[in-house]
Amino acid sequence: MVTLQTGLGTIEGVEVGGAIELRGIRYAEPPVGERRFRPPVRTGSWEGTYDGTTWGCRSVQNPTPAGLGGEEPGEIGEDCLVLNVTVPAAVAEGDLRPRPVLCWIHGGAFTIGSGNDYPAHELVRREDLVVVTVSYRLGALGFLDLSGLDESYAGSANLGIADQIAALGWIHDHIADFGGDPEQVTIAGESAGAISVMSLLASPSADGLYRRAMANSTGGFTPADTRAHVLPLFDQALAGDAPLLDRLRAASTDELLQAQVAAGFGFGSTVDGTVVTRSMDEAVAGAARAGVPLLIGSNADEGTLFLAIGGGDAGVFDLMTAGLPTAVAKGGDVERYRGLLTEAFPEEDPAVDGGVARNLRIWNHFFRRPAVESAALATEHGAGGWLYRFELPSTAFGGALGANHAGEIAFTFDWLAGDGDTGWTFHDRTGAHRAVARAWSSAVARFVRTGDPNGPDLPEWPRYASDDRSVLIIDDPLRVEVDPDETDRKLWESLD
């Protein structure tokens, strides 16, 4: 046990891998009872000694699929507005000099996961950073738009994003007591966490609470006009004759989860005009003008993990992919997009394999187009954008997944460094893999410290721009390629 004295009170944590984990720190009041479906309410100090040795709750969710790591730390419940802070061991000895802060927002399609799933001790110990991992409301509790039932619920479509903003406010006010610098905060995340990062760039109430941004495999915002059918589906799924809002507020968490499944609702942030008010392009450009650089990228085989989750069934995978073309086309002509795919990649004929190859291409486009265009915008408008592509094939599942979605997370946190328990990884701990992980995690740390990922263990990596489309390829060896997305990029450009 390790004890820290903070302005909030005394807290007890645990030593892990040469760093200190302070777990389950409440940043907002429990969003239960009258607070269900309401904005987060920040907490204050506590009495006595806070138990930071046990994990806080995971947001209400169904079990994590075994293919995504299975059971994770923490009980499941609505009292989930907690964060974890990992600090260098020297902090417990009174060394409170301000260190850069990495605020990590977890992924999981806005329906699973938590901040408990990302051990950061290796990165913290080696790079002398402070890492905060945040949990937030998921599913209907975090992203169901109730404003059409009662205008006082404006913003309910993005409560999970509002939770993240509350956590950033907590970091701004209190992280100095944990050896962190509130003026040097980098927001970062993967998948739904990356979309969250882009949503924070698009949220005025988050302005000034971060200095830099990193987004690994971001998609786009969910169009608001695709949600009109959702409330009637919840109305059908929740039994009773009371008004829907009353039933939603009274439902058990199991009933809400069952209604989510019955509604088939794809959750995610949307431009609601209350919490998120800017488009993604506007958000990136505005942040760059304000001096916020962006590190962004995607993986070479984003869709393979989702194909595996669907049991490898071509029909199931087609259903999982159905909504993505609209996002890739940015709400434009989806049939034109499909036609362009046929012209550009005739070998991926849907008649051959049930559309698997074509759908894998669409998954890559869903994550790649926002990365390419956002990196260029960030450079065009000032602070700069660095674009990567993760291409190192996984070894899990016999190597069948390639460089799959989420495969880069272990490299970001350098989970391959030791032999003990760490976060789940798709790669064996070979010497080559460990070297790539060390180099990439060091680049991430440099970005957190300075806003520029370049260093002696990387090839020279220029900012991505329309006149210099240099991309870091994370592979063995690490290398920089010029415009590796040219064919796909020209296809997207022809859609506009």
Any idea which residues carry the catalytic annotation?
A: 191, 302, 405
Residues 141 and 159: beta-carbon distance below 8 Å: yes
The C-alpha atoms of residue 233 and residue 257 are separated, in whole angstroms, by 13
Residue entry with tokens 């489309």: 469
Q: For residue 384, which of 261, 268, 470 has the smallest C-alpha distance?
A: 470
**Sign (positive or negative) of CA dihedral 66, 69, 72, 76:** negative
Residue 247, CB-side half-sphere exposure with 13 Å CA sphere: 17
Rg (CA), the chain: 22
Q: For residue 203, which of 152, 153, 166 has the smallest C-alpha distance?
A: 166
Most distant CA atoms of the chain, gap in Å = 67
What does the block give as tokens for 431?
Answer: 């010497």
Instruction: Tell me whether the omega of the peptide bond preceding residue 477 falls within 30 degrees of 0, making it cis.
Output: yes
**CB neighbours (10 Å) of residue 7?**
9
Residues 198 and 283: beta-carbon distance below 8 Å: yes
Residues 119 and 413: beta-carbon distance below 8 Å: yes
**CB neighbours (10 Å) of residue 490?**
12
Q: For residue 416, which of 396, 400, 402 has the smallest C-alpha distance?
A: 396
The C-alpha atoms of residue 302 and residue 328 are separated, in whole angstroms, by 14
Amino acid at 410: A
**CB neighbours (10 Å) of residue 94?**
9
Residue 315, CB-side half-sphere exposure with 13 Å CA sphere: 0
Amino acid at 463: R
Amino acid at 78: E
Residues 245 and 145: beta-carbon distance below 8 Å: no
**CB neighbours (10 Å) of residue 266?**
14
Amino acid at 356: V
The C-alpha atoms of residue 108 and residue 269 are separated, in whole angstroms, by 13
Q: How far is CA 360 from CA 224, 268, 366, in A?
A: 26, 21, 10
